[in-house]
Structure 1
Amino acid sequence: MWKTSLAQLCGLCLLLFVACPVFAQADQERAEALFQEGYTLYQQRYSPNAFTKFKEAARLGHAEAAYYAGNILRRNSTYITPEAEEFYRQAAEGGDVYAMLRFAQKGKMCGTLRNCDYDREEWLDRAKEIVLPEAEAGDTQAMMALSSAYAIGGDSDKDFEWVERAAENGHASAQYWMAVMLDEQDRGFYWTEAGRKEDILKWLRASAEQGFPKAMLKLAVKLREQGQFEEARYYIERMAETDYYDALVEAGVQIMMGPDIGKVLSPTISYHFEKPRPVEGAAILLAVHREKGKDEPLELIERYEDYLTPEIMAEAKERSKELLVDTPIIYYLPKFGM
């Protein structure tokens, strides 16, 4: 009797030993699926729904999900709450560098009472120790994380240097950010303003050609401002095929109104299209409205209603049914920049 029970116990232990890795893998796969669902919702600015997904993924041990859960809580309160700190700590202990950098930030990030018990310098050093070797080995994601670490540490030159290195190594977001730093932050030294403008366009083109919609939109505007309308129109057309809300709205209204936009809205924002394409443009705006529920696309159509016949709108509505189907409309929110 004793021998039989012992044998059964050993068999049960063996079964559990074999099953544990299987369960662990299932949890990891479930956590990753939840994270991906949450990330899409986050990029759509559906934060409450995203938080639910991130929280569950974090419970299953997903470090990056914990970071985003903390981010949502922090953004809602404008500082790190105790609950946000708990998520950030899980993420940081799990190796998420940006969570470490949240702990390294100064000012209101800590909380209204400035009574956080974590060591900023320790977290900053820890983040650098992780990403510096990876960045030096050519990892562009690590380069961008390292630039954020130097920015937090107050070294603006190193911050700029690593963004530039990431851009030179083909990181589309870094290329876009280089243009923003040169254009909006007056970073870098140039003998002439023409040289600065040339580099702004260079980095925007590099990013846009990789399909980064935020770069396409900024590039189109810059080209329009400089009178390079043909190339600007090319990017407007490309923007209509993206999943970026701002780009889709801009493309939709420009294509819909064409040269009439000068009379309806403002001559300064015209791309000098040869003719309006009301069906195509209105269809884009209607599809964006359907997917996002925002009033802006419909308001732009209403501004042009004197030019839109019932037949045009009927055709646009029909065409809109084929656009942006199963395509989440997102905002390309940065991981650390908010």
Structure 2
Amino acid sequence: MNSTKLCTWSFFFLLLLCFEVKANLSLEQVEAKKKGIELYNQYKAISAIPYLKLAAEGGDDEAQYYLGEAIRKNNRHIDAEAQKAYESSAFQGNIYSMIRLGRADSDLCTAMKNCSKGSKSPAEWVKAAKDLARKGADEGNSESMYLMYELSGDKSWLEKSATSGFALAQYLLATEYLEGEGFFLSPSSRSEKAEHWMRASAQGGYPKGMMGLAAILIGKKDLEGFRLWNEKAANSGYVEGVFGYASYLAGEPSNYGYSLDFVKSYALLSLLLELDGGGGVRRDVEDILPNVAEKITPEQIQTAEKLAHEWKATHPPLSFFPPKLGF
């Protein structure tokens, strides 16, 4: 066996050994991981880093992946610290980290000519990711099928993933159909198929699918369906859903059949003020909130503040639900 083959086999043997490692996080690290991912999903990458570092130190591969992402987004390229986080995660079998390492050739660090030297080349990480994703897909794992789509660009994998019930794939497939992708005999058959997959995604619990379905339904003048899925998206913590629901309760616009509720509108809008990391929603809230405040008394504002506190305690954290393999 030549040295190249020996090196390759040693790499995959080490990879297999690392897959057996399971993180045993302390309660503090579990809470840190949860908080770190919450902040990351609110576009607060800098604030997320200390929490993700704590969980990553416990060996959690998902925390390590998000740590790499938070550092990369903060620095706008993969530096040595992000590289280390990704590799720690990848060596535990995290396919998302493998894909990120496999895409290092297109990272800004390449243009800057300061990429950190990794344990393996991007091509080797892509191969490892494909091998694992293919194995999962062959075993019927719908997320693995989606990852095969990410790795290959083959739309048939996206369709297989959607058919197997992966809500993100269903949303992406519906979105592609709405944007003109795919061949259909008639516009109506395209619309029906898009609605089918968007509804499947929404029913599968994907908040962007919920808002996508709401948009389809309002186009069909189904106000009841629109309100149902807009409120479900809001209840999931999806920022777009919360902002839309709160705005409609204040009558902006008032033609969707909502009963006016300025107190609840104020409560939900005020919650969104904590989103100061990016996304632009805070600016939108600051445009609307003063107008809502003018329509309620100081006592009602106090009631709204209590309602906001109760909502935050009983609903998932606010999130933009950015794609896990985003830019």
Q: Provide the TM-score with structure 2 as the length reference.
A: 0.78
Trace 1:65-84 onto structure 2 (pairs within 5 A). 65-84=63-82
Counterpart among 204, 207, 212 of residue 201 in structure 2? 207
Shift of 1:243: 1.2
Distance across 2 between alignment mates of 1:60 and 1:318? 37
Q: 4+ runs of 1 displaced by more than 6 Å?
A: none
Partner of 1:187: 181
Q: Deviations over 1:259-318 (max 9, x none)?
A: xx34xxxxxxx65316423233333223443x5464543431324556546665455445
Identity %: 27
- 1:1-338 alignment runs, 5 A limit: 28-30=24-26, 31-105=29-103, 106-114=105-113, 116=115, 117=117, 118-151=120-153, 158=154, 160-184=155-179, 186-257=180-251, 261-262=252-253, 271-273=255-257, 275-289=259-273, 292=275, 294=282, 296-304=284-292, 307-308=295-296, 313=301, 315-325=303-313, 327=315, 328-338=317-327
Tell whether the 8 Å contact from 1:80 to 1:111 is kept in structure 2 after alignment.
no
Aligned with 1:331: secondary structure?
coil
Q: Is the 8 A contact 1:240 1:284 kept in 2?
A: no
Deviations 1:31-57 (A, max 9, x none): 555433322222233322321122233
Q: Secondary structure at the match of 2:107?
A: helix
C-alpha spacing 1:317/1:68, structure 2 compared with 1 (3 Å): closer
CA distance in 2, matches of 1:321, 1:38: 21
Q: Quick one: higher RCO (CA 8 Å, sep 6+), 1 or 2?
A: 2
Label 1:318 to 1:71 Cα distance change in 2 as closer, same or farther (>3 A). closer
- For residue 128 of structure 1, report the CA deviation from its aligned partner: 0.8
**Cα distance change on mapping 1:275 and 1:86 into 2, 3 Å:** closer
Do the aligned partners of 1:179 and 1:199 also contact (CA within 8 Å) in 2?
A: yes
Q: CA deviation at 1:129?
A: 0.7
* Farther-moved stretch of structure 1 (308-317 vs 58-67): 308-317
How far apart are the structure 1 equivalents of 2:314 and 2:41?
15
> Could you say which residue in structure 2 is the equivalent of 1:15?
none
Number of residue pairs matched by the alignment = 295
Q: Are the aligned partners of 2:25 and 2:55 in contact in 1 as well (CA < 8 Å)?
A: no
Local SS of the residue matching 2:323: coil
RMSD over equivalenced CA pairs, Å: 2.8
Q: Which runs of 5+ in 2 are unaligned?
A: 1-20, 277-281
- CA distance, structure 1, for counterparts of residue 60 and residue 309 of structure 2: 37
Q: What letter matches 1:331 in structure 2?
A: F
With the length of structure 1 as denominator, give the TM-score of the two structures: 0.76
What's the CA shift for 1:126? 1.2
- CA separation of 1:246 and 1:323: change in aligned 2, threshold 3 A: same
Rounded to whole Å, the distance in 1 between the matches of 2:55 and 2:306 is: 39
- Distance in 2, Cα, partners of 1:83 & 1:321: 37
Structure 2 CA distance, aligned partners of 1:240 and 1:66? Answer: 29
Larger mean CA deviation between 66-75 and 50-59 belongs to 50-59
What is the distance in 2 between the residues matched to 1:273 and 1:150? 45
In structure 2, distance between residues paired with 1:298 and 1:313: 16
Structure 1, gaps ≥5 residues long: 1-23, 152-157, 263-269
Map Cα deviations across residues 77-113 of structure 1 (whole Å, 9 max, x no partner): 3222232222222222222111211122242355324
Larger of the two Rg values belongs to structure: 1
Q: Structure 1 pair 318/89, CA: closer, same or farther in 2 (3 Å)?
A: closer
Tell me which residue corresponds to 2:5. none
Q: Aligned partners of 1:107, 1:47: CA distance in 2, in Å?
A: 21
SS at match of 2:221: coil
TM superposition shift of 1:227:
2.7
1:313-332 residue CA offsets vs partner (Å, 9 max, x unmatched): 45544533432226421221
Correspondence for 1:10: none
Distance 1:40 1:140 in 2: 25
